[in-house]
Amino acid sequence: MTTVMKEKTDIAVLKQFIGGEWVEGTGKRTIESVNPSDSRQIVATCKGASKADVEGALSAAQAAFKGWKATPAPARARVLDAVVKLARRDKERLGRILALEEGKILPEALGEMEKGINLLEWYAGEGLRFMGSTAPSELPKNLLYTIREPLGVVSIITPWNFPWAIPCWKIAPALVAGNTVIFKPASNTPWLAMELVKLFEEAGLPKGVLNFVVGAGSEVGDSLVEDARVQAVSFTGSNEIGVRVHTLAGKRGIKVTCEMGGKNPCIVWKDADQDLALAGVVKGAFGSTGQRCTATSRLILHEDIADAFVKKVVDAAKAMKIGAALGDGIDLGPAVDRAQLETDLKYIQIAKDDGATLLCGGNRVEDGDLKHGFFVEPTVFDRCTPKMRIAQEEVFGPVLAVFRVKSLEQAIEYANDTIFGLTCAIYTQDITTAMTYLEEAEVGMFHINSPTIGGEAQVPFGGVKGSGVGDREMAKEGIHFFSKPKTVFLDYTGKKRESNIY
Ligand code: UN1
């Protein structure tokens, strides 16, 4: 049993950042950020933004756009470079805030810090490569080329589960491409979000280029999509809200990208290296307490190895040390808040009712001080079938559903049988098995002998089907989303042409 380690902190008082000034929100709600490892502790408070505050942010962003667009892209990128250095300086401090506020165990929180820094760094480089292209014309002495231009004011709406990395991967390309930004983080992780904005301020970003509003989505969310000044929206979060954001943006005909849920399968084939597969399944299913859209939530096993492999997974789950995110040697932290805890427990009950076999876990952890946090045991259900709700709906907790199959064809059929299509994995030593699945997999990201989770700045991130609409994120795709090409026809013949091409 672990005791909850309390971080001695004063309560952080957060503000809105509008037009380069830190101001108190004028909304109805006060937002409180609670330590999910010990809910007696409020870590930050913030007077929420009102519609008028959002209006101020939009006006500031609109006013700053012309100057930021005119700033050469390499100069814009230098601000990102400066943020990279500041983030490295503050990595440890910010990682602890992440663990305290979101509940991610410290090693994972520091990993997320590094990932966000990688993204900032990669996009800082893109400032030097903010390029169009040239093309050969059908006509002599005719230059065809494109330049890229920013879109204008863009809204960035981010979730709580990667409160550092996701804002980095959206804000960095938006800024380097020359847009001005309204950034609204999830209401349960606003503190770290504010710290990121402070780094941009310290790095010398001009006033109004990045604005920060903390508020209830129900109070301010729609104006971030519906206001006529907003030219694009980048959203990560639930399907329910994502579909709403997409619909509202669609009505206005503006660019929108929504990264949503997952129900990611991992196939462990009969020839797999079982130690490797076990490590990948445990990390994928229970890492970050299962609170990532890329989490492994379905394990599909060849029946020949199912009994032995399931036993290993269960033993590993039972051996996990559950405790406060900032505790020593902890493997599994809490759910982010009471609502997520309740969702986890609700789905555990649904799986039982649907006839899945509970092998381990299934309960809230309430020993000693842990009762003050939102802890759930790592949970494994065996003998699931594709029609069960546990096979179809995203839980976003440490709950793994196991399926047993007889053939690769059946494994692939099960794997594809959801509304989602974010990521998947297969563990096998046989290239033909892996490539057969690769060809058939309905996903945006495919892992061979590595867990379903993760992404890197240099390659596109995102999914298909219910997992995402709009452009992918990260890599060049991020720049393309946040900019538009302008095609230039430069005719330097200096005389009338005899061509009918035009
Ligand atoms: C990762 O797996 O490292 O919300 C990234 C999420 C994803 C990010 C996952 N957008 O979980």
What pLDDT sits at residue 9? 59
162 lines ligand 1 (CB under 6 A): yes
Q: Which of 439, 442, 476 is nearest to 459 (CA)?
A: 476
Tokens representing 55 are 């209006």
Longest dimension (CA), the chain: 88
Tell me, using a 6 A CB cutoff, whether residue 102 lines ligand 1.
no
Nearest CA to ligand 1 atom 3: 454
Assign domain 51-260+467-486 to its CATH architecture.
Answer: 3-Layer(aba) Sandwich (3.40)
The Å distance, Cα 154 to ligand 1 centre, comes to 21
Nearest ligand 1 atom, CA 159: 4
- Identify the residue whose C-alpha is closest to ligand 1 atom 7: 293
Rounded to 5 degrees, φ, ψ at 362 are 100, -5
Nearest CA-CA partner of 67 in 211, 180, 156: 180
pLDDT of residue 8: 55
Report the alpha-carbon distance of residue 261 to residue 394 in Å, rounded.
7
Mutate to test the pocket of ligand 1, among 110, 166, 259, 394 (most ligand atoms within 8 A of CB): 166
pLDDT tens string 240-278? 899 999 999 999 999 999 999 999 999 999 999 999 999
* Strand extents, DSSP E, 160-285: 180-184, 210-212, 230-236, 255-259, 264-268
Closest ligand 1 atom to Cα of 294: 2
pLDDT at position 216 is 86
Helix H or strand E segment including 274: helix 274-286
User: Which residue out of 112, 259, 394, 473 is catalytically annotated?
Assistant: 259
**How do the domains of the chain map onto residue ranges?**
51-260+467-486, 264-448
CA–centroid distance, 282 to ligand 1, in Å, is 16
| CA-nearest residue, atom 5 of ligand 1 | 454
Residue 293 annotated among the catalytic residues of the structure: yes
In short, whether 174's Cβ falls inside 6 Å of ligand 1 is no
3-state secondary structure of 31: strand
CB-based burial label for 319 (10 Å; 0-12, 13-18, 19+): exposed
For residue 181, the cross-strand partners are 154, 210
Helix (H, G, I), strand (E, B) or coil at 484: strand
Q: Which residues of the chain have pLDDT under 70?
A: 1-9, 501-502
Contacts (Cβ under 8 Å, ≥6 apart) of 171: 156, 181, 183, 196, 200, 210
Q: Using alpha carbons, select from 321, 322, 268, 323 the residue that is nearest to residue 296.
A: 268
How far is the C-alpha of 177 from the C-alpha of 224, rounded, in Å? 20
Pairing of strands 423-427, 445-448: parallel
259: β partners: 236, 468
CA distance 460 to 424: 15
Question: Tens digits of per-residue pLDDT, 298-346?
Answer: 999 999 999 999 999 999 999 999 999 999 999 999 999 999 999 999 9
For the 264-448 domain, the top CATH level (class) is alpha beta
pLDDT digits (tens, 9 = 90+) for 328-337: 999 999 999 9
- The whole-angstrom separation of Cα 75 and Cα 83 is 13
Structure tokens given for 311: 């036993």
State residue 10's pLDDT score. Answer: 80
pLDDT value of position 218 = 83
The answer to whether 79 and 200 have CB atoms below 8 angstroms apart is: yes
Helix segments in 143-258, DSSP class H: 165-176, 190-202, 223-226, 239-252
pLDDT value for 2: 37
The verdict on the CB of residue 159 being under 6 Å from ligand 1 is: yes
The percent of residues in the chain predicted with pLDDT above 90, rounded, is: 94
pLDDT of residue 497: 85
Q: What is the DSSP string of 413-476?
A: HHHH-SSEESEEEEE-S-HHHHHHHHHH--SSEEEESS-S----TTS-B--EETTEESS-BSHH
pTM: 0.96
pLDDT at 217: 83
